[in-house]
Amino acid sequence: KRGNYEPIDFISELDSNTKSVDLVGKTFSLDIKEFGGRKRITLGIQDKAIDGIYVSMYQNGAISDDTLKELANRGTNVRVRGVAHIDEFTKELTIKGHFIDLLPPDEDIIDDAPIKRVELHLHSTMSAQDGVGDAKDYISTALKMGHKAIAITDHGVTQAFPLFQKAAKGKD
């Protein structure tokens, strides 16, 4: 049922007994499939603790194609209202979305420390366990903050090194 949405700060607070939820987070994936002329949207959302959950819904009048383009950008801030349930196909806890609202982007982080640090805990999408960040995004953020280096600490793999090298090439 729609309405009476309960604000949830962390995805870890959800279970299949949680009914109507109101969650704010960032997008990490978007999959769109067409069925009978309707677009089924599966949106990956992460919370402040970087826990993730999928939201599934059909495109409706409130979700324009321009909104879908914005949702495709990793890290887009969104507010989702819907119902938590166990998906019959994946057997995973998901949210059946009723509403998705775009929220304003985060302000850039300013690091005005005279001596910059090197981030020593950084997982990329290549990490075997918990990576959600993209090399280009990490490099862009580090440069905006005036950082000259970052360290990749992916679990069990080193495949991200060429991606980071390519993303950083020519960006002193």
Which residue from 91, 88, 103 is spatially nearest to 23, judged by alpha carbons?
103
Residue 16: pLDDT band (50, 70, 90) is confident
What confidence category does residue 1 fall into, taking pLDDT thresholds of 50, 70 and 90? low
pLDDT digits (tens, 9 = 90+) for 21-68: 999 999 989 999 998 889 999 999 999 887 899 999 999 888 888 889
| Torsion 143-145-147-149 (CA) sign | negative
Calpha distance 145→76 (Å, rounded): 20
Structure tokens belonging to residue 80: 């989702």
Within 19-92, strands assigned E span: 20-35, 38-46, 52-58, 77-86
**pTM (two decimals):** 0.72
Token pair 């826990």 is found at 51
Rounded to 5°, angle at Cα 9 from 8 and 11? 75
Assess contact for 56 and 87: CB atoms under 8 A.
Answer: yes
The token duo for 88 is 């019959």
